Amino acid sequence: MFKKSIIILVLTVLVGGGFVFGADYWINAKEETPVQVITKIIQPEIKLKNVVVAGKPLGFGMVLTSSNLKEVSWPQNALPPGAFFSVKELLKDGARVVLRPIEPNEPILLTKITGSNESASLSKLIEEGHRAVTIRVNDVVGVAGFILPGDRVDVVLTRKISVSKSGDKGRKSQTAVADLLLQGVRVLTIDQIADERSDKPLVAKAVTLELNTLDAQKVALASSVGDLSLLLRAAGDKSLDLAKTVNLSDLSGVKEEPKIEEVINPVKAMVIKTSSQIVVRRPKESQEYKVPIVTN
């Protein structure tokens, strides 16, 4: 019996020790195993579509070909209006010509090129409701040749007018005045050059301006009565100055005070101030008369 009890005790110790050893081993194994966290980044799905862009810088008058165009992926929800989606579609009906400068990787838009088999004429550059008017210039009027297509200019009219001075008995003399005729006018061409990418100074003989109908009439009339000069504006300047006529007195800074002629009336009016009573006495009677007093 005693022997049996010893055997049971030994077995109990062995089983208990096994449980303890197994539990310790399992706990250590859990601590050594790293916890793996799997994170999935969910990105919104962006739909793309091919858009035709310039493969190199394109200037006015250049013909579009498969060699200077390429297709790039573009977000479908941000497609620029007037874009083309394949080079084949763009050129399927014939050659097209560039009207305005296009930079590399810039989308080819319908507003910057001609229609199929059309030439890059000046009429394609004119905005709707505007007209093209050409004026003669020289190296001074044209800002020493530094005005280029696409620049903005002001137009000044210089002319001579007749004036009459007081005290000269109606005789008239001539003086020169300058008026700010137009502001912020876009230059279309310099002579026959319409490429806005051109950066070489050119002493031109003619400048073509883009004007509305009324301003075009003003320029046509002004060119017949005086000389037109151009003032080059800074890029992006859209300010409008108060128009003022400048005359010769403004050059010296001395203002001529207007002379006021004195008007002398040779006929002086008679002014009745009051009246007086006069008594006339006679031997048999006396009589009163009311006589006005007159002052000259």
Residue pLDDT tens, the chain, 296 long: 566 666 666 667 666 666 666 666 666 665 555 556 666 676 677 888 899 999 898 888 888 988 899 999 988 888 888 899 988 888 888 888 888 888 899 999 988 888 888 777 777 778 888 888 888 876 555 565 678 888 898 888 888 887 766 555 656 777 888 888 899 999 888 876 666 556 565 666 788 899 999 999 998 898 888 888 888 888 888 888 887 888 777 777 655 544 434 333 433 444 444 566 666 666 666 667 666 655 54
Residue 70 lies inside a defined structural domain of this protein: yes
Considering the domain architecture, whether residues 23 and 54 belong to the same structural domain is answered as: no
Residue 296 lies inside a defined structural domain of this protein: no
| Total domain count, the chain | 3
Q: What is the pLDDT of residue 211?
A: 92
Q: Looking at residue 109, which CATH number applies to its domain?
A: 3.90.1210.10
Considering the domain architecture, whether residues 138 and 114 belong to the same structural domain is answered as: no
Look at residues 98, 120, 142 and tell me which one is the last residue of a structural domain: 120
Considering the domain architecture, whether residues 109 and 78 belong to the same structural domain is answered as: yes
Considering the domain architecture, whether residues 100 and 136 belong to the same structural domain is answered as: no
Considering the domain architecture, whether residues 153 and 171 belong to the same structural domain is answered as: yes
Considering the domain architecture, whether residues 65 and 148 belong to the same structural domain is answered as: no
Q: What is the pLDDT of residue 260?
A: 39
Considering the domain architecture, whether residues 132 and 102 belong to the same structural domain is answered as: no
Q: Up-side HSE of residue 291: CA atoms within 13 Å toward CB? A: 9
Residue 226 lies inside a defined structural domain of this protein: yes
Instruction: Report the sign of the C-alpha dihedral through residues 105, 107, 111, 115, in that order.
Output: positive
Helix (H, G, I), strand (E, B) or coil at 81: coil
Distances (CA, A) of 244 to 141, 152, 257, 288: 20, 20, 18, 73
Cα 242–chain centre separation: 18
Q: Give the integer Cα–Cα distance in Å for 37 and 194.
A: 64
Helix (H, G, I), strand (E, B) or coil at 259: coil
Beta strands in the chain (DSSP E): 48-54, 69-75, 130-136, 152-164, 172-190, 206-212, 227-232, 246-247, 271-281, 286-295
Considering the domain architecture, whether residues 115 and 131 belong to the same structural domain is answered as: no
Considering the domain architecture, whether residues 229 and 153 belong to the same structural domain is answered as: yes
- 174 near 249, Cβ under 8 Å? no
Considering the domain architecture, whether residues 240 and 144 belong to the same structural domain is answered as: yes
Indicate the pTM of the whole model: 0.54
Look at residues 100, 120, 140 and tell me which one is the last residue of a structural domain: 120
- Residue 213 pairs with which residues in a beta bridge? none
Q: Give the integer Cα–Cα distance in Å for 224 and 216.
A: 13
Task: State the residue range of the domain holding 221.
Answer: 127-249
Residue 64 lies inside a defined structural domain of this protein: yes
Considering the domain architecture, whether residues 98 and 167 belong to the same structural domain is answered as: no
Tokens of 220: 């046509």
Q: What is the pLDDT of residue 175?
A: 81
